[in-house]
A and B are shown apart, each in its own frame.
Chain A
């Protein structure tokens, strides 16, 4: 990523900076790749000389999105996605920082592989990339990986992706060891035995479809266990993706007890439910599974009340090889980079949550959790920005998807809210040309 040195003035904008509670008509000034000023008084000192002026015509200017849940196929499955194609999808979706999952082939569990990711990203990606490294060697859940050396190499956090660490002793030691490095443990909790061979939410729908169910208990018993372990280890924990109200309650209690915990959710679990699976649509097969409409509404409530801190796309490119199978045999996962903000706007238009609050869960909240300076419009912050029209409708068309894979659960649906321009490190990406 090269920092653009050209000064920029984004004027006539609705400036939203969730980090500083700004939502006002004004401008944003950028120079040397960092924010100089933002808000209604930004132009009081005048525009920098030779600045490129962009008239936003009332559109929103906000920090670029930070997506904590992105699977890339590189290395190992470049036919599904590369860092380059993922970064293009990200740019179109307004995501200026992607945090990659270590679930590649080979798994990112060696400092040399973190270095590889960073170098490939530098050479091929148009947005910022921060790799997460594996929490356990080979994601096997047995032996802790080299958290210290991986962190030094540039790993931003440690995740076992969707593989739960079932051995409580291993997770306890990981949380304990990670504390010495102030490292963030990102864990998707699940009791593997309770989940069994289930492939969708347990209940009536699953029974009618004849599919094995995954009960809520498979998730929240594991989350409750994790909270107990966290209380023992006093580490730093992020629940990667919770899908059940009972999990949110456990998180809320842990927060009340003063534990260093945050929770995440995918945009899918906030906007879709198990009925969307319809006639065995494999693009809606996810882990954890889509839950009931009541569950979805409860999770939206948990987002609104701050129990859930971070929305991620859970972008997971899969192709026909892995998705065109009977439901139970298809891979989990859906695309999300290009649609996260548009899908999130459904919550805003529905009156569930305000736009600044929605943006907080995709900008400053993940930035704060990961220790990133971006995700805000404060003076000196990196100029990663989006110009976004929250009213503009668009249709998710399969052949316009920038990802190498096409497994979007929003295919042919109309989303409201479109990113017009994405700016990374002060440089304007031409979204139409991507």
Chain B
């Protein structure tokens, strides 16, 4: 395949996908359109495209993840890339120099696409500056998780036709959630009205200046919502540190049928997974007719195909010959 493009496509003029921040609405729409096509590909018997043939994709996960890693792996493979998974246990890796050493080592292997998850906010940005290939942030600490926000947007758009004008409630541990941050930016940029609902202890400081409506009462916050996005609450935060107990959290902030009845009758329920049934969401809702949770997983593969394709098309032909 002869590739002459050294300049980036104007439809998606980015070398990396490090966050939603910095993406313009047309760039987001472009990725969503591309993902719509990827959904069709994935639903065929013949699920492979050749756009990444010959490309090497490395999934570098400093933090354990089953679903995100397999989603990226499948996305790469469906586009014809050679995919390698590297799980780096957190105990053997320290921050700073070691991360840069890892980057240098990987760089020497000449990958084209690097998918990175790291437990520290900003670690993916640091790594991106040290490698020649395109980098996709698969979640960096509580900072951003751009492909999750994009897959959420894709799922919503396919059901509601548009994102503009929708009222979306993001509920739960906003404070520690990269999913919340990416979604707040994406949905606001696309013209949705974003609400966050959480106990005050799980709201980050400055939330009132983030362009969202803030609620601490579920029923009030859910009134008139089109989309209800639940977030996972980590176990270590449930027993007195940020909320007193699981039963109290479920009582006031768990999504059950009664609380959901305050949203619009056709409201849709989402969750990035993995779910804690009976903590942030009742089983009957998670598995009920308004739930899009399983569909989100399918859309995850599609959006990652779109992202990989868009970034690959921007790769310069001789990226490892140029100086960095």
Q: Which residues of B, 178-227, contact A by the 8 Å Cβ criterion?
A: 199-201, 216-217
**Among candidates B200, B239, B251, residue contacting A177 with C-beta atoms closer than 8 Å:** B200
Counting CB contacts under 8 A, is A200 at the interface? no
Q: Please give the distance in Å from A170's CB to the nearest CB on chain B.
A: 8
Cβ–Cβ < 8 Å partners of B200 in chain A: 176-177, 179-180, 233
Given contacts A173-B201, A180-B199, contact A149 B241 (CB under 8 A): no
A148 touches B201 (CB 8 A): no
Counting CB contacts under 8 A, is B248 at the interface? yes
A146 touches B199 (CB 8 A): no
Counting CB contacts under 8 A, is B42 at the interface? no
Q: Please give the distance in Å from A185's CB to the nearest CB on chain B.
A: 13
A146 touches B244 (CB 8 A): yes
A173 touches B248 (CB 8 A): no
Q: Give A144 to B251 CA distance when docked, in angstroms.
A: 16
A142 touches B240 (CB 8 A): yes
A149 touches B242 (CB 8 A): no
Closest to B205 in A: A232
B240 touches A144 (CB 8 A): yes
DSSP class of A's interface residues: helix, strand, loop or mixed?
helix
Cβ–Cβ < 8 Å partners of A149 in chain B: 244, 247-248, 251
Cβ–Cβ < 8 Å partners of A142 in chain B: 240
B241 touches A148 (CB 8 A): no
Counting CB contacts under 8 A, is A143 at the interface? yes
Closest to B252 in A: A148
**Among candidates B217, B242, B252, residue contacting A173 with C-beta atoms closer than 8 Å:** B242
Bits for A101-129, please: 1 = Cβ < 8 Å to B, else 0: 00000000000000000000000000000
Q: Give A177 to B241 CA distance when docked, in angstroms.
A: 11
Q: Please give the distance in Å from B236's CB to the nearest CB on chain A.
A: 12
DSSP class of B's interface residues: helix, strand, loop or mixed?
loop
Q: Please give the distance in Å from B198's CB to the nearest CB on chain A.
A: 9
Cβ–Cβ < 8 Å partners of B247 in chain A: 146, 149
Counting CB contacts under 8 A, is B276 at the interface? no
Q: Give A16 to B264 CA distance when docked, in angstroms.
A: 54
B244 touches A180 (CB 8 A): no
Q: Give A149 to B252 CA distance when docked, in angstroms.
A: 9
B251 touches A143 (CB 8 A): no
Bits for A136-148, please: 1 = Cβ < 8 Å to B, else 0: 1100001111111
Cβ–Cβ < 8 Å partners of B244 in chain A: 137, 143-149, 177
Q: Which residues of A, 49-106, contact B by the 8 Å Cβ criterion?
A: none
A148 touches B240 (CB 8 A): no
Counting CB contacts under 8 A, is B245 at the interface? yes
B240 touches A177 (CB 8 A): no
Cβ–Cβ < 8 Å partners of B243 in chain A: 144, 177
Q: A137, A147, A173, A179: which has the most chain B beta carbons within 10 Å? A: A173
B201 touches A143 (CB 8 A): no
Q: Give A362 to B187 CA distance when docked, in angstroms.
A: 53
Closest to A174 in B: B201
| Residues of A in contact with B, size category | 10 to 19
Cβ–Cβ < 8 Å partners of A177 in chain B: 199-201, 242-244
Given contacts A176-B200, A180-B199, contact A143 B239 (CB under 8 A): yes
Q: Give A146 to B251 CA distance when docked, in angstroms.
A: 11
Q: B200, B216, B241, B245: which has the most chain A beta carbons within 10 Å? A: B200
Cβ–Cβ < 8 Å partners of A148 in chain B: 244, 248, 251-252
Q: Give A149 to B246 CA distance when docked, in angstroms.
A: 11
B248 touches A176 (CB 8 A): no
Q: Give A141 to B97 CA distance when docked, in angstroms.
A: 39
Q: Please give the distance in Å from A349's CB to the nearest CB on chain B.
A: 47
B240 touches A176 (CB 8 A): no
Cβ–Cβ < 8 Å partners of B201 in chain A: 173, 176-177
Cβ–Cβ < 8 Å partners of A233 in chain B: 200
Q: Please give the distance in Å from A56's CB to the nearest CB on chain B.
A: 48
Q: Give A136 to B245 CA distance when docked, in angstroms.
A: 12
**Among candidates A143, A179, A180, residue contacting B241 with C-beta atoms closer than 8 Å:** A143
Q: B199, B242, B252: which has the most chain A beta carbons within 10 Å? A: B199
Q: Give A173 to B247 CA distance when docked, in angstroms.
A: 18
Closest to B240 in A: A143
Cβ–Cβ < 8 Å partners of B242 in chain A: 173, 177
Cβ–Cβ < 8 Å partners of A173 in chain B: 201, 241-242
Cβ–Cβ < 8 Å partners of A136 in chain B: 240
Q: Give A147 to B200 CA distance when docked, in angstroms.
A: 13
Q: Give A146 to B199 CA distance when docked, in angstroms.
A: 13
Q: Please give the distance in Å from B251's CB to the nearest CB on chain A.
A: 7
Q: Please give the distance in Å from A116's CB to the nearest CB on chain B.
A: 18
Q: Please give the distance in Å from A184's CB to the nearest CB on chain B.
A: 16
Q: Please give the distance in Å from A178's CB to the nearest CB on chain B.
A: 9
Cβ–Cβ < 8 Å partners of B245 in chain A: 146
B239 touches A146 (CB 8 A): no
Q: Please give the distance in Å from B242's CB to the nearest CB on chain A.
A: 7
Q: Give A117 to B248 CA distance when docked, in angstroms.
A: 21
Cβ–Cβ < 8 Å partners of A144 in chain B: 240-241, 243-244
Cβ–Cβ < 8 Å partners of B240 in chain A: 136-137, 142-145
Q: Give A148 to B217 CA distance when docked, in angstroms.
A: 12
Q: Please give the distance in Å from B253's CB to the nearest CB on chain A.
A: 10
Q: B217, B239, B240, B247: which has the most chain A beta carbons within 10 Å? A: B240
Closest to A179 in B: B200
Q: Give A143 to B247 CA distance when docked, in angstroms.
A: 15
Q: Please give the distance in Å from B176's CB to the nearest CB on chain A.
A: 13
Q: Give A176 to B239 CA distance when docked, in angstroms.
A: 16
Q: Give A150 to B251 CA distance when docked, in angstroms.
A: 12
Q: Give A179 to B251 CA distance when docked, in angstroms.
A: 17
Q: Give A405 to B200 CA distance when docked, in angstroms.
A: 43
Cβ–Cβ < 8 Å partners of A180 in chain B: 199-200, 216-217, 252
Q: A136, A148, A149: which has the most chain B beta carbons within 10 Å? A: A148
Q: Please give the distance in Å from A298's CB to the nearest CB on chain B.
A: 36
Q: Please give the distance in Å from B258's CB to the nearest CB on chain A.
A: 15
Bits for A144-160, please: 1 = Cβ < 8 Å to B, else 0: 11111100000000000
Query: Can you name 22 A-B pairs with beta carbons within 8 Å?
Result: A136-B240, A137-B244, A142-B240, A143-B239, A143-B240, A143-B241, A144-B243, A144-B244, A145-B244, A146-B248, A147-B244, A148-B251, A148-B252, A149-B244, A149-B248, A173-B242, A176-B200, A176-B201, A177-B243, A179-B200, A179-B216, A180-B216
Kindly list 5 other residue pairs between chains A and B, CB separation below 8 angstroms, not including A144-B243, A149-B247.
A143-B239, A144-B240, A177-B200, A177-B242, A179-B216
Q: Which residues of A contact B (CB under 8 A)?
A: 136-137, 142-149, 173, 176-177, 179-180, 233
- Identify the 7 closest CB pairs spanning chains A and B, nearest first: A143-B240, A146-B244, A180-B216, A146-B248, A176-B200, A177-B201, A144-B244
